[in-house]
Structure 1
Amino acid sequence: MTESVSAKPVFPQTKRSLSVANLLRRDAVGGFLLLGAALLALIWANSPWGGGYEALGETQVGADVVGLHLDLSLSAWAADGLLAIFFFVVGLELKREFVAGDLRDPRRAALPIAAAIGGMVVPAALFIAVTYRQGAAAMQGWAIPAATDIAFAIAILAVVATHLPIALRTFLLTLAVVDDLLAITIIAVFYSDTIDVTFLGLALLPLALFAILVQRRITSWWLLVPLAAFTWTFVHESGVHATVAGVLLGFTVPVLRANRTGDRDGGPGLAEHFEHRIRPLSAGLAVPVFAFFAAGVAFGGLGGLVSVLSEPVALGIVAGLVIGKVVGILGTTWLVTKATPAALDTSLKWVDVVGAAMLAGIGFTVSLLIGELAFADDPDRQEYVKVGVLFGSVLSATLATIVLRTRNRHYRRLREAQARDVHRSDVPAACPRS
C-alpha cells in the first residue's frame, strides 16, 4: 500500500518562530519557565492582590454544547486541556522507548523499571503511614508523592550534568518514563469519575481515524487537530481524566517508518517529528500555565507555611518525595543487582544513583494534578497538597543539585586528568644528541 504523505508540516513556522521553538526545546528552558510560573503564582497568591489570582483561576470559559459539559474554569482548562498536550508528548516518549529505546530490551530496562516501581511504592507507603490516623479521606492522596516530574528533573540534570556519565541520564529518563506510565495508569484507574461507557466508546471513533491518518503519514493539521479535540472531549465526558486522551493519541503515532516492503525499518516515524513540533508548545505554554494555576497557595507568611507543613497530608507528601523516593529507588536498584544478573552501568557509582533518586523526588506537575483529583471536594487539603508538593520538590531538587554538582566536579577532574595523560603520551620523546 502506498503511503500518503502531506507536503505541509503539521504546524507551519516562520524563521522567528523556529528560533523561539528551538529555545523551548531545551530541557533547561522548559524547567525555568515551569519554576518561574510557579513562583509568580506564589507571589501573586500571597500578595495584597491575592483575591485577583483566585478569581482568575475560577473564571468560567466555554459553554455546554449538545450535552457536552465544556463550561470550565481557567484552572480546569489548564489541568484537563493544556496538560493533555504535555501528556501527548509523554505518550510519544513512552512509545518511542518501548519500540526503539531502552525499554525494548528487557535486560537493559529491568533495573530502571524496578527502580521506578520501588520509587512509587515506598513514597505511597510513607504517605499512608503518616496520614493513617486521619482516615480514608486523607489517604486518598497516596499517589501524590509517587509521581516524578520528568520535565523538571531532566531540566535540572541538563543544567548540572556537564561531565556526568551519559548512562545516568539514560537511567533517570527511563525511570521517569516508566514512572509516567504508572502515574497515568493510576490516574485512569483510581482517580477517574464514574465511567460513561457511551462516551468512552465515542472517543474510540476519532482516535481510530487519527491513528489511521498518522499510520499513513498524513500530517495535515486541519485533519489531526479536530480529531484530537473530539477524542479529548469524549474522554473528558466519559469520566476518565482527559489527560489520558493525550497519552492514547501519542500511542497511535508510529515510531518507525515502514519501507516499501512493509518492514518497520524505513527510518524514524512521525513520533519524532510530532515531538519536535509539539514539545515547544508543551514546555512553553501548557506546563507553565498549568503550574501557574496549580501552584498558587496563600499560606499567610512563614508561620502559616510551618503550620501547613505540620499537617499530615503535607508532611506525608514531603516525606514521600524527599525520603521515600531515595529509599525506594536506591533500595530496589540494590536488591535487583544482588538478586539478578542486572547491574549498574560500569560508568556509574552508587552515589550517582542517589543523586538521580533525589531528582526523582521532584513531583510537581503530575503530583499537583493527582492532588487536585484526590481532594477535588476538599479545598483545605488541596492547599496542603500544593505546599507539600512545592516544598518537597524544591527540597529534593536542592539536595540533588548539591550531590550531582559534587559528582560533576569529580568527573570533570577525571576527564581533565585523562586528557593530560593522552596529551603526554602523544608528545614524542626528545631525540638523544649524537
Structure 2
Amino acid sequence: MAAPTPTPRKFLGRLSLPERTFVADALRAETVGGVLLLVAAIAAIIWANTPLQDSYESTRGFHIGPASLGLDLSLQHWAADGLLAVFFFVAGIELKRELVAGELRDPKAAALPVIAAICGMAAPAGVYVLVNTLGDGSLDGWAVPTATDIAFALAVLAVIGTSLPSALRAFLLTLAVVDDLFAILIIAVFFTKEIDFTALGGAAVGLAVFWLLLRKGVRGWYLYIPLALVIWGLMYNSGVHATIAGVAMGLMLRCTRHEGETHSPGEHIEHLVRPLSAGLAVPLFALFSAGVSVSGRALTDVFTRPETLGVVLGLVVGKTIGIFGGTWLAARFTRAELNEDLAWPDVLAVASLAGIGFTVSLLIGELAFAEDPGLADEVKAAVLLGSLIAAVLAAILLKLRDRKYRALTTEEERDDDLDGIPDIYELDNPEYHLRMAAIYEKKAAEHRRMAEVTAGAGKDGDSPA
C-alpha cells in the first residue's frame, strides 16, 4: 500500500494543533512577551529614523472605523485605546486573582508590596515635579514615570535571575499588580476631561449585564465578545479612557474555584486571552507609539529639557528610592515583614527593575501631552531611555544576587557522605556527624598508608613513583 501523500503546507496557513499549542504557550511566558515588546519597539524606532519615516507617520495616522459611532480612529489610536484594553483586561484578572486568592488577600502579607507600590509611584512623581518646578517645565507629565511595565520587568527577572528565590518574583508581581491598579485610577481620574454621561451610563448598564451573565453562569463567547465591544465603544465615547472598560470586565470574573473545577473562569479566560495580549495587543501598541527620533540632538534634549529629564530621573532614581524606601519603612515601623527568603539587596534590585516603565508610561505620555505632539515624542524618548537605563542597572544588581544565590544553592546541595540527603539538612543529626567522622578517619588512614609506602620506598633506594 502506497504511503499517504503529505498535504502541502500553505504559506501563512493554519498551524497544526501541536504548533498552535506551542505558540500559545510560548506567548504566555514573560520572557517571550518581553522580547516581542522589545522587538516591536526597536522596529518602531528604526522605521521612524530611516528614509521610510514618512510611511511610518502615514501608517500610524491612517484612520479607519465607523465615524457614525464616533470610532473613526487612527491606527495609533486603535492600538492605544482598543488593543491596550485587552492588556488591561488581563491586568484586571490578575488583580482580581491577587485580591481573592493571592498575596493581596491577607492584609498583613499585602501591606509590604502595597506600601512599596504606593511609595514607588509617589517618589517618581515627586522627582518629576521637583525637576520641573526648578527648571520651569510643564507639570502635566507628573504621572509618566509612575508606572511599571510588568512584561518587561518579569522578562528581565526570568532571564537574569535563574537562581533567585521565587519570593522575589512574587514580590515583583504583587508590586506590579498594585502599580497597575493605581495607574488605572490615575488614567481614569486625571486624564478624563469631558464626560458624556449618556454614554457612560450606557457603559455602566452594559457592565451590569456583563456581571449578571457571569453571576448566572451563562456561557458562550458569542454573547460576551459583542457585549464587551459595545461596552468598550460606549466607554470610549463617554470621555473616560476606554481601557477602563477592560479592567472593569476583568475584575468581574470569578477567580476562585468551585468544587470539581480545575481552573476558575478567570484563570481559564486569562489563559486564553494572554497570548492575544502579549503577542498582538502590546507589541502593536509599541510599534505605533515607540517610533521617536533618536538623533544626537534628541538624546541631548532628553537631559536638558525639564520634562524629559524629570521622566528619566523619575524612572531610574524615583522608582528605586520609592520602592526600597517604602519597603524599609513598612518593615521598620509597621507589622509588615519582609519575606524570610529575601534580603535587602534583593529588594534594591527589584526596586531598580521597577523603573522599566514602557507600555503604561508611553500611554500616559501620549495622554499628558496630547496637545503637543512634539513634546509627547520627546517624553516617549525619555521613557525609552529611562527604561533602558533602569533595565541595565537592574540586570547588573540581579546578576550579582543570582551569583550569590547560585553559590548558596551549590552549598545546600552538597552531599559529602553520598547518602542522598544534602548535608545541610543533617547538621543537627548526631548520626551525620558520626558518618562524616568515619569518612574523614578513612581518608586520613589512606593518607598515612601512602606516606608510609612513600617513606619505605625511599629507604630502599627506589623512586617513590
Tell whether the structures are fold-level matches, with TM greater than 0.5: yes
| Partner amino acid, structure 2, of 1:81 | G
Question: 2: CA distance between counterparts of 1:361 and 1:120?
Answer: 10
**Contact 2:37 2:286 survives alignment (8 Å):** yes
Aligned to 1:124: 125
Partner deviation per Cα, 1:275-307 (whole Å, 9 max, x = no partner): 1000000000000000111100124x2233212
Residue 452 of structure 2 is matched in structure 1 by none
* Amino acid of the structure 2 residue aligned with 1:229: L
Q: CA deviation at 1:422?
A: 6.8
Cα distance between partner residues in 2 of 1:220 and 1:257:
19
Letter in 1 for 2:386: G
How many Å separate the matches in 2 of 1:117 and 1:396? 19
Following superposition, the deviation at residue 336 of structure 1 comes to: 1.1
Aligned residue in 1 for 2:364? 370
Does the 8 Å CA contact 2:298/2:378 hold for their aligned counterparts?
A: no
TM (norm. structure 2) is 0.85
- 2:174 alignment partner AA: T
Structure 2 SS opposite 1:148? coil
CA drift of 1:212 comes to 2.4
User: What letter matches 1:277 in structure 2?
Assistant: L
Q: Distance in 2 between matches of 1:83 and 1:422?
A: 54
**Aligned match for 2:298, one of 300, 304, 313:** 304
Q: Name the CA shift for 1:310/1:269 in 2 (closer, same or farther; >3 Å).
A: same
Distance 1:205 1:417, change over 3 A: same
**Equivalent residue number for residue 357 of structure 1:** 351
Residue 206 of structure 1 deviates from its aligned partner by: 2.2
Moved more, 219-228 or 389-398: 219-228
Change (3 A) 1:213 1:14: farther
Counterpart check, 1:412 vs 2:406:
yes
State the shift of 1:258 in Å: 4.0
Offset at 1:421?
Answer: 4.2
Aligned to 1:238: 238
Does 2:208 align with 1:208?
A: yes
Secondary structure of the equivalent of 1:139? Answer: coil
Measured at CA, do residues 307 and 214 of structure 1 come closer, stay the same or move farther in structure 2, by a change above 3 Å? Answer: same
Gaps of 5+ in 1: 1-12, 260-264
The 3-state SS of whatever aligns with 2:317 is: helix
Q: Secondary structure at the match of 2:67?
A: coil
AA of the residue aligned to 2:285:
F
TM-aligned CA distance change 1:423 to 1:329, over 3 Å = farther
1:44-123 equivalences under 5 Å are 44-65=47-68, 68-123=69-124
Deviation at 1:417, TM superposition (A): 1.1
1:270–1:360 CA distance, 2 compared to 1 (3 A): same
1:422, 1:248 → 2: CA distance? 56
Q: Distance between the aligned counterparts of 1:402 and 1:129, measured in 2?
A: 28
- Give the superposition deviation at 1:14: 3.6
Unaligned runs of 5+ in 2: 1-15, 422-434, 446-465
Q: What fraction of aligned residue pairs are identical, expressed as a percent? A: 52
Q: Is residue 46 of structure 2 the alignment partner of residue 43 of structure 1?
A: yes
Aligned partners of 1:199 and 1:141: how far apart in 2?
28
Total equivalences in the alignment = 413
* Conserved 8 A contact 2:293-2:381: no
- CA distances 1:216-250 after superposition (whole Å, capped 9, x unpaired): 44342211100100010000000000000000010
Distance 2:213 2:299 in 1: 51
Cα distance, 1:424 vs structure 2: 4.8
Aligned partner letter, 1:278: V
Q: Alpha carbons of 1:43 and 1:197: their partners in 2 closer, same or farther (altered >3 Å)?
A: same
